[in-house]
Each structure stands twice: as structure tokens, then as C-alpha cells.
Structure 1
Amino acid sequence: MVLSNIDVKNSMLLIVDLQELLAPAIKDFPNILKSTLQLSQAAIIHDIPALITEQYVKGLGETNQQIKNMLPDAAYFHKTYFSACAEPGFVDKLKSHDKKQVVVVGTEAHVCVLQTCLDLIENGFEVIVVHDGIGSRNPQHKNLAVEQLRQAGAVIS
């Protein structure tokens, strides 16, 4: 797949599992949140659709409140699978926007972010992973995920 530059008219923002109770365990979470809020602001300015996933809300809490406040109209998906694409209706919702690029931030990089991005690529989307916007409890896990994502065809930005 030939990847093009990020096109605000052809992109979506996907925020994967940036949840309150998981945040303290994630290495460098304050910087991940900062990057996510900056991208969220850009999404608002450029009218880019935002989608937010939440994994096991009962145990991991809801999405970070600052993100929720900034993106009150985002589409939310509660999930039980590591890949959001495995959840009924998720891929259909993405396709309904008729955009090919998905800019991704979230946690954990080596589990839910990785599995979701691999499935997005398989579904024909161009995936742009924001390096400063993803994280894991163990930094080495993030590094391994980034390498695997790059090999699979994602752009690491």
C-alpha cells in the first residue's frame, strides 16, 4: 500500500483505551495525554471525526476526563476484544465516514493499539500511529509494537 501525506479531508482520529484507571500504570502517560489533547484540538479545528474505544470500563475506568471534555461528540465503542475491529459495528462506523486514513493514539501499544492497527491495515485503511501518543506499562513493549506496526505498513509519526 502506498501511503500518502496526512489529509485532513480524508482522516479520522482514533483514541484507543486512554482510561482513567489504566493511566497511572502507563509509562509517560502525561506526555501521551498531551499529544492526544493536541491531536483532539486539531480534529476539532479541521472537523475530523474522532472515535474513542474503552476496554473493560468496569475494571479500567472511563476515558480520561480531559479527552471526554474536549471531544463530547466523539463516537464511543466499549470493547471486550483487544482489537476494536473485532467489535460489531466498529469497522462499519469507520467506513461510514468514507475516509481512508486513521490517526491512532492510545494504550497499550503492544496489545490493543497493535491489534487494532493490524486489523485496520487488513481492512484497507492507511494507519498513522503517533509515536508520542502511544504507550505501554513497559517501554520495551511499546518499542516492539512500533517495530511490528512499521513492518506491517503503518506510518509511525
Structure 2
Amino acid sequence: MNASRSHLLVVDVQARLMPAIHEGEALVRNLATLLEVAKRLRVPVTVTEQYPKGLGATLPAVAEALPTDAATLSKTTFSAAREPSIAERIATLRGSGRDQLMVCGAEAHICVLQTALEFKTSGLEVFVIADAVSSRSPHSVNAACARLLHAGCHWVTMEMVAFEWMERAATEDFRALSPLFKG
């Protein structure tokens, strides 16, 4: 995973959905850390909102952590790849060399799964961030993991992404970000 080739896609971390998500607080905490790393390393961020009229906007804790140039786009399709505005943004970023898509959010077995599979099929290298995805049931997360791995997606952790993006210690980026990983 390389920061200059990456794009972070945050799927449906919304106000009315998250209270039902298994270990949702841990997902949000890991996502906030990842967003700080993305901001520092200038990794573009796209946020999707599934039918925000019904499920509400992105959680304030996540929205506040977003880089200023992040795009928040609504959808009614389960796969973000099927929403024209999202597909267009991903294609534009891909055209600028961002061919690695990091996917996180909810629900692992529905929107995250379908999004990751379709973008993988389109030729992107897809990484699903295990400790920044969840569903209402842990069984659904396990099933999504198995299917994604079988399809050739990568199942990684937030720290794997962050440290591969940083590449090395003894840099200003590492010094600025390392406090996020203590404790």
C-alpha cells in the first residue's frame, strides 16, 4: 500500500445506522485515526451516505475528522460503484495514479462488500480495513471477509495501512502521527 497511489473510501458511517453496528465505537475510533493519517499524507477521501434522508448524515465524529477536500456523496445503490457521482470521482482519482482503494465503513456484508467487489472487478487494487468495518452481526463480517478474500481483495488493519503509507520512521510525518498509535 502506497500513500501516493491510495484513495480512502468511507462507506455509510451514518447516525441512524451506527448504533446497531457491532463494535461500532471501535470502528469509529479506528476510522478517526486513519483519517488523521490520510489528512497528513494527503490521501484523498471520499465518504458515501446511503439514503441520508432515512439513515441520517455521516456521524459528526467522522465528519469533523475529514480533510477539507474530502467529498461526501449520497447514494441509494448498495454498491458505491453503481452511483454515477461516486464512480466518476473514483475514476478521476484513478486517472491520476490512485489505483489502490482502501475501503472501510458499514455494513461489511452489504455496502462494503458490494462496493469492494465491483471496484476490484473494474481493475482497482482493493484493501478492506478489517478493524474499520463492521455489520450488525459479527457473523456477517466473517462471511464478508471470506468472500472478499476469495475475490482477491486484501483484508488489512488500520495500522497496516497507516504504517505502509508512512513507509519509514525518522520522518516528520512519522513524528507527527506516531502519538496516534500509543496506548
Taking structure 1 as the reference length, the TM-score comes to 0.94
Per the alignment, residue 141 of structure 2 pairs with: 142
The percentage of counterpart residues that share the same residue type is 38
Alpha carbons 2:73, 2:85 under 8 Å: kept: no
1:8 to 3, 22, 29: 3
Q: Deviations over 1:4-26 (max 9, x none)?
A: xx000000100000001101100
2:83 to 82, 87, 99: 87
- Paired letter, 1:83: S
Give the drift of 1:134. Answer: 0.4
Q: Secondary structure, in 3 states, of the residue corresponding to 2:4?
A: helix
The alignment of Structure 1 onto Structure 2 pairs a total of residues equal to: 152
Alpha carbons 2:47, 2:73 under 8 Å: kept: yes
Higher helix share: 2
Deviating beyond 4 angstroms after TM superposition, the runs of 4 or more aligned structure 1 residues are none
86-95 or 45-54, larger mean C-alpha shift = 86-95
Give the drift of 1:95. Answer: 1.9
Distance 1:156 1:11 in 2: 15
Per the alignment, residue 102 of structure 1 pairs with: 101
- Paired letter, 2:144: A
Give the drift of 1:55. Answer: 0.2
1:78 to 74, 79, 90: 74
CA RMSD of aligned residues (A): 0.8
- Paired letter, 1:109: A
2:43 to 36, 39, 48: 48
Q: Deviations over 1:84-117 (max 9, x none)?
A: 0101132221121221001111000000000000
Q: Secondary structure, in 3 states, of the residue corresponding to 2:10?
A: strand
